[in-house]
Amino acid sequence: MIQKCSFCDPLPKDILKTGTWARIIIPERLHVPPEDGGHLIVSPMRHVQNRIMLSESEATEIWRFSIISAKLLNLLLSVDWYNFQENGNWAADNPQKCHMHLHIYGRSADSKNQPFGEALKLPLRSEIENWDFGKYTEGMKNKLRKEAKNF
């Protein structure tokens, strides 16, 4: 039996949009703070280890939701660029815990923490608990929720 995870059962308050196969999630820990471009996650609802396990329908909806996520970041933060990064391997030592997901990062030309044009600097797994790149304000989350209804 595959164990449930935060992508299988995200907190309802963190879900921006739910489709048939995927959802857009506000991450608990931002990798890029709002002032530097922001961060959203798209995840399949089905627990899959990597993209090759996705059905065509799941892959299509994840792709579409990644574009919607980028548009949401732009509406909220007027970002200059986007990075899309597939993850899910931090549980590679226990493959049943792996859950493929896609990070959408907004990039701001005047970013202080994540310099524009440079690769993102992300924490090692052992450092994640101490990683703090801020959070969205409730007003920002409410705007994301409102705008997500338009897609």
Question: What would the DSSP string read from start to end of 31-66?
Answer: SS-GGGT-EEEEEESS--SSGGGS-HHHHHHHHHHH
Element (H, E) at 76: helix 56-77
CATH architecture of 12-115: 2-Layer Sandwich (3.30)
Looking at residue 1, what is its pLDDT?
A: 44
pLDDT confidence of residue 2: 47
pLDDT at 90: 60
38 Cβ neighbours under 8 A, 6+ residues apart: 30, 32, 73, 76, 77, 79, 105, 106, 136
At residue 125, the pLDDT reads 75
Query: Please, which residues bridge with residue 42 across strands?
Result: 24, 102
pLDDT per residue rounded down to tens, the chain (151 residues): 445 678 888 999 999 999 999 999 999 889 899 999 999 999 999 999 889 999 999 999 999 999 999 999 999 999 999 999 998 766 555 667 788 999 999 999 999 888 899 999 888 878 878 888 889 999 999 999 999 999 9
pLDDT at 3: 52
- Residues near 117 by Cβ (< 8 Å), separated by ≥ 6? none
Contact between 27 and 13 under an 8 Å Cβ cutoff? The reply is no
Domain boundaries, the chain: 12-115
